[in-house]
Amino acid sequence: MTDKRISFLGPAGTYSEQAAQIWCEECDLVSVDSIPDVAKAVNDGLTDIGIVPIENSIEGGVTFTLDLLIHDSDLSICGEIVIPINHNLMSKTEIDFSEIQTVYSHPQSLGQCRQFLTTNLPNANLVASLSNSAAVEEMMKSPMNSAAISSDQAAKIYGAKILKKNVEDRPNNETRFIVLGKNDHPKTGNDKTSLCFEFQGDQPGILSESLTEFASRDINLVKIESRPNKKSLGRYVFLVDIEGHRTDEKVANSIESLSSKVAMIKVLGSYPKFI
């Protein structure tokens, strides 16, 4: 690994920091305040690469990251990593669940623990924080009987008392992170390519017809999802992951053919598959 600096969604103690540490043990880690700031640090030369969450096994796509890739960044995906997520409910001191008035956490984490919160803290006010680690910091400063949902590491950093471990609703909770850089990754033979596209109109069968560009060339479609195009209600941008590298002949041909059927297409990058 030749990269020296990697930006992540901070502060220290977030799952993003954990993913960054696993991705590059030798890198200097640079904490920033938001997902867009991760990309900005790379664009501005503050870091060589950045790491952001893109997908969770319980809550699905991370909308901040998807919208960043579609609308607000020209960086390329050059890698991916998947890490297990174990959430803990914590407070300043030992406290009964019935006394907790407010729970701080990142919106994705609140969603991943929705059933637990509904069952055990039905009257608590849920407050969205910029990150799981920031949630612990906010909780520790709160004058009310508060709790936070975050990682073991965040509890250690801020001196919080863990009230209950593993409060996520599903035991197989995992988050996929992508690595952003100014260039994507050279071909390895075990690659994935991410792209997004948008149609001019809404003709019947236009999506399925477009996806045949991959199927007809025996290219496996790994994932597909959509996001509003932010221009008109009911109009969407489709994001797909396919197997293969953008320089592979059949992948390049499929992208070229798809380009003639869509109003916009953006190749987000090719990179080695983690799984």
The residue annotated as part of the active site, out of 14, 47, 65, 175, is 175
Q: Report the helix count and the strand count for the chain, using DSSP H and E.
A: 9, 15
Query: How far apart are the C-alpha atoms of 100 and 117, rounded to whole Å?
Result: 11
**Whole-number Å distance between alpha carbons of 179 and 167:** 28
Q: Quick check: bond before 11 cis, omega within 30?
A: yes
Residue type, 12: A
177, 197, 214, 238: the active-site residue: 177
Is 175 labeled as catalytic in the residue annotation? yes
Structure tokens at 143: 């004058």
If we measure between CA atoms, which residue out of 80, 82, 83, 50 comes closest to residue 68? 50
Q: Which residues pair with 103 in a beta bridge?
A: 126, 147
Cα torsion angle, 185, 188, 190, 196, sign: positive
Write the DSSP string, 45-58: TS-SEEEEEEEETT
Q: Which residues are designated catalytic?
A: 175, 177
